[in-house]
Amino acid sequence: MSLPPLVEPAAELTVDEVRRYSRHLIIPDVGMAGQKRLKNAKVLCVGAGGLGSPALMYLAAAGVGTLGIIDFDVVDESNLQRQIIHGQSDVGRPKAESAAATVREINPLVDVVIHNTALTTENVMEIFSGYDLIVDGTDNFATRYMVNDAAVLLGKPYVWGSIYRFDGQASVFWAEHGPCYRCLYPEPPPPGMVPSCAEGGVLGVLCASIGSIQVNEAIKLLTGIGDPLVGRLMIYDALEMKYRDVKVRKDPECVLCGKNPTVTELLEDYEAFCGTISDEAAEAASGSTITAQELKAMQDGGEDIFLIDVREQNEYEIVSIPGATLIPKGEFLNGSALEKLPQDKRIVLHCKSGARSAEALAIVKNAGFSDAVHVGGGVLSWVKTVDPSLPSY
């Protein structure tokens, strides 16, 4: 469906801009009018990571006049496999600042606005209100629902993308002309059901595939050309090299954008709404969580424990805590792990950060291992506080 241009054109292009954007200007559908609209546009990229990297770089190259970058994280060496806006010299630097430097190098004519902060319910409405279009490159459900809700409440469109291993998705959500994210996903998945990229991995180049599609959709919306992905979900399989479209209809009963909405303001706590871990896991972990240092003290003191790593084999091969036995979380979910647990030793579980081990802990406790514990912070905490010589990921 064709939509009107999102922004009005700027008054003029300078000689330098005409020279820089000449390959756009000779495209009849873009031309001088379309490039002037890009110059006048204000676009915010939520996240300067895997999807944000190509999105920011191509938005800058395309001549979007004002680019906002919001990210509170710092560049880690493990980011460099896919977050191409950052380089080796940027490790330890705030991502928003690193990304801004690259954007300015690509196109010094772009006005870059840095938001070196976490996006929260306290600031999202104010930040979003200063932009015409949002490009969502987040990797967690809590932020995705918050971005969607804020965009709908402010009447703004946003371009959404998602990546995992070899698969990607993209769509445009604009409640005024079609569905919102809640129409597609009314409820977040159960805690632990969908692994994050940090748990399951992502093919680095997939970020470029989906991120460039997001920019393509942004340009179409800003200039009013083509048929945007409003009401359509694009699904990409990199292994099979296949794209397919799925129609997404506006849900008349949507709690946010339906005929009788019940969500008329931001939720108080999106983390709680999405349930980072299940209630059972949270209850099991309460009073049964130890630190990495406490685990080290147990080992050094010769305590009779059975240490279990509930991650996947490929994660275990990257880095493991000495003495840990690998029993992936899936074996706890299907019950096969329980027969492997000794009755005469205290069970200690860990994963990468503590979420998966908390879920496994709930199962173990329900099976009668009442003194079982898990390691808060998991391998990441062990590497940080006990043995920094080990690799992180």
**Residues labelled as active-site residues:** 197, 351
For 308, phi then psi, to 5°, come to -120, 130
- How many CB atoms are closer than 10 A to CB 245? 12
Kindly list the strands in the beta sheet with 305-309, ordered across the sheet, starting from the edge strand earlier in the chain. Answer: 289-290, 373-375, 346-350, 305-309, 325-326
Question: What separation in angstroms does the CA of 90 have from each of 95, 116, 128, 211?
Answer: 8, 15, 27, 21
Measure CA of the first residue to CA of the last residue in the chain; give whole Å: 43
Question: What separation in angstroms does the CA of 38 have from each of 67, 99, 114, 334?
Answer: 11, 20, 19, 53
Kindly calculate the radius of gyration of the chain based on its CA atoms and give it in whole angstroms: 23
Is 207 exposed, middle or buried (CB count within 10 Å of its CB: 0-12, 13-18, 19+)? buried
- Chain mean position to CA 327: 27
Give the CA count within 13 Å in the CB-facing half-sphere of 96.
19
The strand pairing partners of 135, in sequence order, are: 45, 159
- Strand 111-115 relative to strand 66-70, pairing: parallel
Sign of the CA dihedral running 7, 163, 144, 100: negative
Question: What separation in angstroms does the CA of 200 have from each of 95, 167, 209, 311, 375?
Answer: 22, 12, 19, 10, 20
Cα(225)–Cα(207) distance, integer angstroms: 24
Tokens of 72: 């509170």
Whether 99 contacts 48, CB under 8 Å = yes
